[in-house]
Amino acid sequence: MKVNKKLTWVALVATLLLVITGCSPNQQEIFNAALKTQNAKSMQAHTTMTVQLSGSDFEPTVQKQFDQAALFINNAKLDLNTETNSNEQKTASQSQIDMNLAMQGMNISVPLWVDSDLTGNTPKITEIIKVPAIAKVSLPSQFASKEYMVISPSNMSNAPLGNLDTTELMNFSKTIQAAETNFLMSYAQRFNPLPDALDNGIQSLQTDDGLKPARIYEITLNDAQFKEFIRYTVNNFVQDPEAMNFVKTFMDSILSLTQTPDKAKSLSDFDQAFSTFNSNRTQFLATFNTAMDQLKDVPILGDKGIDLKYAISGGNLVQKSGTIDLKVDLAQINALANSLNGQPNATVDAKGNFNLTFTFQTDISSINSPLSIQIPTVTSDNSFDYMDLMKTAPTPSTQTLHK
């Protein structure tokens, strides 16, 4: 199996790190709290994210460009403040997201509102974006004076690139969350990676709701542990019948939503590919594990590794924070890629290494408390539709004529 297909599986399954923590008592506490918070009818979440980039040993011209990029990125800070209200069934909700990006003498604020109602025969969802001043200068004149841009998936079915039945898609969203939750609750019982989450005891935590006692759990992974986690996760997931059936059902449902003429063929091709994969799982895992063996001495994480903290109060997840320190040596990565592709003696011309460190913290408050979300009133005078904007974009044939 090709390297890119192996990496696709790794990315897909390793993502479960953010959703499933396993079936040890501490891991189960984190999972249960995350699930309870996810099912809340209302909440406010404030997330702060920063990135630090550093690198060395590049060619001089590349190093100069890299240092300039690092200077720009290292001064950036992303803030997201989200408020959401929904009904008990999660079929009707209103949300407000305020995004603020501060970087290198620039401050970009983008408020966004989402109003969705999936209760009727015709599901409705509307997104309203307050257009930032920096974006208005690039808009066509008929839109530049408007304050809001409106996006409605139901208006996109007839778009040139629209190939999904949006009504069916929104109906699908009604059921997928329940199916996903049921699967994760079941699979978590069979997913028990090491190391375990560390219980740091109960601490006083300052939250937007005031000072609260919270039990703090922590998961740390160094480079070797992270690679073992990836190996365990992929092997466990691929060999789990329920997990594979969930992937099959999910993909069949997504492909069934498409409105392309060859939908039947797409479904048939996927079913055939999935059947072939199932028949060759042993071979796939042998190839994958060999690749992981070769990855052993190629760094993925820096000295800080992965450090994730979860604060639980009243059974809810009220804070999560972490550091993810990535380390890349381009020469080693290139050599590994050549080896996996059957070209171990290929010339290694990549040079340079860098560290990319993500830090984030999310504080969750006002869980199941009344929240007032004011959706802006949009009119033809103060807003424009996203699809109207797309109609003004030059087509590929038009761009060719103007060359």
Q: What is the rounded CA–CA span in Å between residue 270 and residue 259?
A: 16
Q: Tens digits of per-residue pLDDT, 183-239?
A: 888 888 888 887 888 999 999 998 888 899 999 999 999 999 999 999 998 999 999
Q: Tens digits of per-residue pLDDT, 2-49?
A: 333 333 343 444 444 444 455 678 888 998 898 899 889 999 999 999
Q: Quote the percentage of the chain above a pLDDT of 90.
A: 52
Which pLDDT does position 17 carry in this prediction? 45
Which pLDDT does position 402 carry in this prediction? 47
More confident site: 52 or 5: 52
89 pLDDT more than 80 = no
> Which of 21-30, 160-169, 368-377 shows the highest mean pLDDT?
368-377
Which pLDDT does position 105 carry in this prediction? 78
Window from 48-57, 166-175, 230-239, 297-306 with minimum mean pLDDT: 166-175
Which pLDDT does position 395 carry in this prediction? 56
Q: Tens digits of per-residue pLDDT, 378-399?
A: 999 999 999 999 888 765 544 4
Which pLDDT does position 335 carry in this prediction? 87
Which pLDDT does position 12 carry in this prediction? 43
Q: Residue type for 368, please?
A: N
268 pLDDT more than 50 = yes
Which pLDDT does position 88 carry in this prediction? 83
Which pLDDT does position 156 carry in this prediction? 59
Q: How confident is the model at residue 259 (pLDDT cuts 50, 70, 90)?
A: low
Q: How confident is the model at residue 161 (pLDDT cuts 50, 70, 90)?
A: very low
**pTM for the model:** 0.84
Tell me what the mean pLDDT of segment 296-321 comes to: 94
